[in-house]
Structure 1
Amino acid sequence: MTVVLRSPQEFKQWRKKQSGSVGFVPTMGALHSGHEQLLKTARAENNIVVLSIFVNPTQFNDPKDFEKYPITWDADLKMAQNNKVDAIFYPHAPDMYPDNYRYKVTENEYSKTLDGAHRPGHFDGVLSVVMKLFNVVSPTKAYFGEKDFQQMRLIQGMVESFFMNLEIVPVATVRESDGLAKSSRNVRLTQEQRALAPAIYKAITTSKTADEAAQALSAQGFKVDYVTDIDNRRYVAAFLGEVRLIDNVQI
């Protein structure tokens, strides 16, 4: 039986009654098989599994992107139940931001590069909401996909810097059969864009340099934000129409 809890206070009351290890998967919903892998890993490693679904307004630097983010509650609930999730934390924005976002968490170096350079304020919103979620859920372990590698590294750094009592567990990127990284935003691609999207994975895995990969994508009609190699990992962000896709691979 999966229980759905709407407010931080309600969740904390439920949490007090639980014992054993708690595995936590924070999401913005529109769940796909990448999220399901996080849930399966959490289920295998913990006594209790908690899923959060919250489309966090503070991490969207583009209001239109926020408005268009897919909401698929019925399918999300079914996936949670199929994977034996014990509780879903499904809060309202005013309950998560009673201070109207006066207080925030900021990282001043790594968050200003890559996605942070192209999405001002994005990682402030991510780190702030994740710290709030950790404080509400009190997990033993929290699970993050490596597709959002920069995000995962920043959250690991926050946990270490603030002496937070939990472990961040990375889970490998889940891909479609054609190589496209699973993402909630993929559903917004047109049929033609979806056919072209796997070129991102092909470019970053077959090109000798980041510049070569960027040129290959631009030539195919992508609007490239960046392709960059840092610490033996190649990162990419590129638009197909209005949809921004990101990926990364070890090199």
Structure 2
Amino acid sequence: MTSGSGGTETSGSGDIGRTLDLLWDTGPRPSRGPKPGLTLDRIVETAVEVADRDGIGALSMRRIATELGTGTMSLYRYVPGKGELLDLMLDRVQRPSQDAAALGDGGWRAALEALGHATLALYRRHPWLLEVNQSRPILGPSALEGMEKVLSRIKPMGLSDPELLSAIIMIDGYVVGAARTLLYQEQAERGSGLTDAQFWEAQRPALEKAMLSGRYPVLAGLSEDTFGSGFDHFGFGLRRILDGLEVFVAARRATE
């Protein structure tokens, strides 16, 4: 389950009942449309492709219809509107991997670490997710299957059910922050025309002068690789969160 950000779009903004019918295939099936091969799956897949390529701001029923080579009204045979389509997209991209090893080969810690890396990869593939407010998600089969898989792996932590959910929320919150930072870096590079290395190189003369001034002795004494790209900041932070959970789990077991 992904939490998203304040964003430009909001999950659950369409007709909730109709969205659930579409997610769980419990509603009436659309009558055959004028364009052979047009299906709800194709509409959702095309919408995801547009959002991946051009951002969530480019998403509209007209744009999807153009991509599919059909009239806008044809889409309404399958999905009521953009709000419902967005929720279908969210569930589609959150389909969990069917690889049994996707959540690691070990216990709960390996599962949560794998979840963190998989969630970061999800945001990298679909950066528009960071622009969607998912504070009130519509839960479809993909979201529930993903939660089921994670919870089944971390249940042995021995925590209460709310605490287990909180552990997942904690990991997701950390990943959202890291993913947003990466996205902003990429946007800044495209917008400025400067690579990250060029950006910092432009500041080097001023920073070297500041370090020689004696006003910043701790900064001046840092090793040369401190700000290098070789250190895995994401992995370091994720492991420290898991270290904290490990201490908490051990303390809980000791009291029991």
Do these two structures clear the TM 0.5 threshold for a shared fold by scoring above it?
no
**TM-score if structure 1 supplies the norm length?**
0.24
Greater C-alpha Rg: 2
Structure having the higher helix fraction is: 2
Q: Which is strand-richer, 1 or 2?
A: 1
Q: Which has the higher contact order (CA 8 A, sep 6+)?
A: 2
